[in-house]
Structure 1
Amino acid sequence: MKSQGTNPVNVCCAIIKNEDKNVLVAQRSSTMSLPLKWEFPGGKVEQRETAEQCLIRELKEELNIIVKIVRLIGSHIHKYPSLSINLIAFECIIVSGEIVLSEHIAFKWVDKEKLLELDLADADVPFVDKL
């Protein structure tokens, strides 16, 4: 993922809770950037796409699920060594589909109190406090 100039890349992520109030996280593959890090699933906003459209598309493509966006949690800019991202987080619920991984190597439902025990992507960490 390359940044264009100095502008941060807009990236969306979903905070999805199940009926037990556990949160969905997915583990990046060893060939992805940030290899083997855990993250809230999502992806890069494409041209002519809203953040909400991006999130719905990415979750269908990467996890085979359809979600309903409940609310915007917030956003923040995170600077990685190679680029800056504007990470936009939404609370979502799964409305259909069974999770099938197409890019990640694993997923799990985690108690929100244990999220920081995972090797989370740095940009995702600030959202743990907002849960």
Structure 2
Amino acid sequence: MIDVCCAIIVNDEQQVLVAQRSAVMRLPLKMEFPGGKLEPGESPEAALVREIQEELNLHILPVEALPVHEHQYPDFAIRLMPFICKLQSGAIELREHAAVHWLEAPQLSGCDWAEADIPVVHDYLFTLTN
């Protein structure tokens, strides 16, 4: 089981950043919330701040943890730890992903998500209605 954290990055306009995996990554061209693997001894929040800086050149502040989800793909399993994050600063640089998009919350359901991210989308949308 691979421990992975992901960021639901929200900007000042309440749009959410979604990233498209590159053609050479596992799950090519699927949409995901950006993030990455935890290093030994690293907290999910610290890993997320580091990963988003490395992958996208953005500075974020994790503000709320969402439920953890485990997902079994055919050849690997992940434990996905999502956090709603506030965008602090930075200009997006695509260092791993094919593309990123700022979307309004209702648009999230129409994306071609990596399977592990689908329950995270539902959890995030649920937080907006309660």
Q: Same fold (TM over 0.5)?
A: yes
> Could you list the runs of 4 or more consecutive aligned residues of structure 1 that deviate by over 2 angstroms after TM superposition?
none
> 1:27–1:105: 8 Å Cα contact kept in structure 2?
yes
Give the number of equivalent residue pairs: 124
What is residue 15 of structure 1 aligned with on the other side?
Answer: 8
What is residue 103 of structure 2 aligned with on the other side?
Answer: 110
What is residue 89 of structure 2 aligned with on the other side?
Answer: 96
1:80 aligns with 2:73: yes
* CA displacement at 1:95 relative to structure 2: 1.0
Q: Which ranges in structure 2 are unaligned for 5 or more consecutive residues?
A: 125-130
> 1:14–1:40: 8 Å Cα contact kept in structure 2?
yes
- Identical aligned residues as a percent: 48
* CA displacement at 1:56 relative to structure 2: 0.6
Q: TM-score, normalised by structure 1?
A: 0.91
1:127 aligns with 2:123: no
Q: Which ranges in structure 1 are unaligned for 5 or more consecutive residues?
A: 1-7
* CA displacement at 1:22 relative to structure 2: 1.6
Q: TM-score, normalised by structure 2?
A: 0.91
- Aligned positions of 1:26-45 closer than 5 A: 26-45=19-38
